[in-house]
Structure 1
Amino acid sequence: MTHLEGRVAIVTGGAKGIGEVITTALAKEGVKVVINYNSSKDAAEALVNKLAAEGCEVYACQADVSKLEEAKGLVEEAVQRFGKVDILVNNAGITRDRTFKKLSREDWDRVIDVNLGSVYNTTNAALPYITESEEGRIINISSIIGQAGGFGQTNYSAAKAGMIGFTKSLALELARTNVTVNAICPGFIGTDMVAEMPEAVLEKIVAKVPKQRLGTPEEIAKGVLYLCRDGAYITGQQLNINGGLYM
């Protein structure tokens, strides 16, 4: 048995990309994982089948976590399924990149709602259960873009920066409990989202990274495991996994 054996986690956006790898890493440590998805039903079911075949306890639950009632339903379903919630990984996110002159209010609202509003929604619903845990963990997957900004990403940058401020404030409020609250800020990671960038743009990005490569989703998942397993005295922090691109 590992230190995490038997704990229960919810991973929002947990069926694809970085979320899929976080889900897999937690499940292989013996964590019972609720894989939240919104529209990626096939990916979620495939991941459940794959991990279940390896002896992991996982469950897929559809919910648009940008909506408060659906986020509450997600948490209640997790509790009904596994009896508790110890870990919440707020990973759900989208991009709708435009220069500010071309950014519609609809694209602003949708990115803020999904990337930042969902953090309020899921945390609000899960916190009563997480505070009952002996080692509660709230981990918010922010971004280097929330720290340094990004061209054509005022909506995304604002949401990810908001996650950092949320993390710090909630960490202060919960410091005397058994719950820690931290943010992980990935740099440019080799996911499908990054792979969609034009090759010339991607080459310029990699050239600016001191480590001279993209990060991997597995490296982000290791950060999540570290905070879950060994992070009892770490709270209100930003774990920067970015190859030295932002210091």
Structure 2
Amino acid sequence: MLKNEDIFSRVVNCISATTRYPIVLLTEQADLENDLGIDSVKRLEIVVALEEAFGLRLSDRERDPSIRSIGDIARWIEEIVFSQGTENPVVADSVRQDRVPFPRGETATQPSRQLNDNTTRRESDFHRDPPQSISPPHFTPGTPPLENASVGKTLAGRVALVTGSGRGIGRVIARVLASKGATVIVNSFHSREAGEQTAAEINAQGGSAIHLWGSVANVGHLDQIFSQIKSRFGRLDILVCNASDGRIGAFMELTPDDWDRAFRTNVIGHHQCAVMASELMRGSGGGSIITMSAVGAKGWVDGLGSQGVVKAAVETMTRYLACELAPFGIRSNCVVGGPVYGDLLDKFPNARNAQDHWETHAPDGNLCSPLELANAIAFLVSDDASGINGSVWVVDHGFSAVANGQPKRVGEAKRVMSSR
């Protein structure tokens, strides 16, 4: 129990100023990662802000796993303050409550909704209109401007939700669907600012997008997300289940918490997404659901044990969705990508060697790009793929087709073919 409510209030105000979250969300029990989506980078920003606000050194325990909630942070600071014999530390003016503005669209009188036992969030915080323009525009390498990304608006008039689309593969998927004419709902949790920027880029390039914050692993967040979709659009035609969570590391070192996080996002969370999405799709005559898998679901890949197991479950879940939802005109398919150039590949230990190793096992010496994955998804959700349901599509340059893990000597193959 906190001894000093003033310290807690100051901590909340400081975190609100750093994250732009409304104060009503920052309860004592709110979990930094699971409820608020605060990753290691944002956590460090908060620690730096708290150090400045309280005049204390806090970075020594910045990564302490026991500090998980807002209350834990307040108790941590309280412990330091009382150990120094100072019960009323000076706090910077910039984080006093009367200096913390509500985020855009927030007012002090707006109602809040209960997300779970510990967390509330004002409805407007799940959607903020993106800025009218950003300068300079930022594009993922290999992702063309929207107007050049495709020929024809095969998804015109469709509304698409892409989970986990603030950055990486999801960001490219969102941009490609927008280039095909879809109105895209960009969703992000840990990368909230990146999600807002992705939506802004799409709008600046002539597409149509909004950003909705929330975790697919949190049912309360999903309730808010789909409530916003229904109220704003009245329909949903496309769901791409791209958000993912899973530890990259040795399989025998995975903990129960690692498994819980992986299953809550990849399987349970996206099952609930599909259930809620299907309710909206039925009302508009059908739709298309895409799940995402990985090559680790087919066999052993070093470091991808957690992802491999849960993605195998995702592939099976996709087949069940296909059978259950087909009578309502809803198709469900799975896209397997990988290894994929980009952010995820960079997270592997010794990433450069891993990339070189995998490239030697691909028949053409190349791995998959996010744009290639996105183009496959754009086809599967279009009317051109109306007969495809319950399938698992592999986009990996033939990586998984190589038998027994034998490396393909691309240069040798070219030499043999040219000599014929």
Q: TM-score range by the shorter chain?
A: over 0.9
Residue 314 of structure 2 corresponds to residue 132 of structure 1 = no
Map 1:177-192 → 2, pairs under 5 A? 177-192=328-343
1 CA distance for matches of 2:262 and 2:341?
A: 21
Q: CA deviation at 1:211?
A: 2.0
Runs of 4+ in structure 1 over 6 Å off: none
Superposition pairs of residues 9-24 of structure 1, within 5 angstroms: 9-24=160-175
| 1:1-247 matched pairs, under 5 angstroms | 2-197=153-348, 198=350, 199-229=352-382, 230-247=384-401
Supply the distance in 2 between the matched residues of 1:182 and 1:123 (Cα, whole angstroms): 12
Q: Distance in 2 between matches of 1:226 and 1:2?
A: 12
C-alpha contact 1:88 1:137 (8 A) present in aligned 2:
yes
Summarize the Cα distance change of 1:2–1:194 in structure 2 as closer, same or farther, 3 Å threshold: same
Shift of 1:92: 0.2
Kept in 2, the 8 Å contact 1:85–1:130? The answer is yes
For 1:137-175, what per-residue CA distance to the aligned partner results, in whole angstroms no more than 9, with x for missing partners? 000011111122323333211110011000111111222
Choose between structure 1 and 2 for higher RCO, CA contacts under 8 A separated by at least 6 residues.
Answer: 1
Q: Give me the whole-angstrom Cα distance separating, in 2, the residues matched to 1:212 and 1:231.
A: 29
Q: For 2:219, give the aligned amino acid.
A: L
Distance in structure 1 (CA, Å) of the matches to 2:268 and 2:301: 20
> 2-side partners of 1:116 and 1:34: how far apart?
21
Runs of 5+ unmatched residues, structure 1:
none
Q: Give the C-alpha shift of residue 2 in structure 1.
A: 2.5
Deviations 1:77-110 (A, max 9, x none): 1122222101000000123123233111111111
Quote the Cα distance in structure 2 between the aligned partners of 1:79 and 1:56: 20
Deviation at 1:60, TM superposition (A): 0.5
Give the corresponding residue for 2:143.
none
- How many residues matched? 247
Instruction: Give 1 or 2: higher strand fraction.
Output: 1
Gaps of 5+ in 2: 1-151, 402-420
Residue 239 of structure 1 aligns to a residue whose secondary structure is strand
Partner SS, residue 327 of structure 2: coil
The amino acid that maps onto 1:246 is S
Q: Whole-Å Cα distance in 2 between the matches of residues 196 and 158 of structure 1?
A: 19
